[in-house]
Amino acid sequence: MDPWLECMDFGVAMTKEAGKMIRDALQREISVREKSSPVDLVTETDQKVEELIISSIREKFPTHSFIGEESVAAGAPSALTDGPTWIIDPIDGTTNFVHRFPFISVSIGFTVNRQIEFGIVFSCLENKMYTARRGRGAFCNGAPITVSGQQDITKSLILTEMGFKKDSEHFRAMMANMESILSIPVHGIRAPGSAAVNMCLVACGAADAYYHIGIHCWDMAGGAAILTEAGGVVMDITGGPFDLMSRRLIAASSQGIAESIAKKIQPFCCGRDDTE
237 among annotated binding-site residues: no
- The nearest distance, CB 174 to ligand IPD, in angstroms, is 11
Is position 82 annotated as part of the catalytic site? no
Cβ 90 to ligand IPD, closest distance in Å? 8
Catalytic residue among 53, 57, 67, 91: 91
Give the active site residue among 70, 89, 161, 243: 89
Give the separation between CA 132 and CA 184, rounded to whole angstroms. Answer: 32
The answer to whether residue 69 is catalytic is yes
Nearest-approach distance from CB 78 to ligand IPD, in angstroms: 14
Known active-site residue 89: yes
Residue 247 to residue 217: CA distance in whole angstroms:
7
> Which is nearest to 211 in space by CA: 154, 155, 177, 249?
249
Q: How far is CA 60 from CA 68, 72, 109, 203, 221, in A?
A: 17, 22, 17, 30, 21
Q: In angstroms, what is the minimal distance from the CB of 234 to ligand IPD? A: 15
CA distance 177 to 156: 16
Q: Which residues bind ligand IPD (CB under 6 A)?
A: 69, 89, 91-94, 161, 163, 193-195, 214-215, 219
Name which of 155 and 166 has its Cβ closer to ligand IPD.
166
Q: Closer to ligand IPD at the Cβ: 89 or 117? A: 89
Nearer to ligand IPD, 134 or 190 (CB): 190
Contacts 24+ apart (CB under 8 A), 67-72: 67/217, 67/218, 67/273, 68/218, 69/216, 69/218, 70/42, 70/46, 72/218
46, 50, 69, 229: which one is catalytic?
A: 69
3-class secondary-structure state, position 38: coil
Could you give the CA distance from residue 14 to residue 53 in angstroms, rounded to a whole number?
A: 6
Say whether 69 counts as a known binding-site residue: yes
Residue with Cβ nearer ligand IPD (162 or 184): 162
Closest C-alpha among 225, 65, 232 to residue 135: 225
> Which residue positions form the known binding site for Mg(2+)?
69, 89, 91-92, 219
* Active site members: 69, 89, 91-92, 94, 219
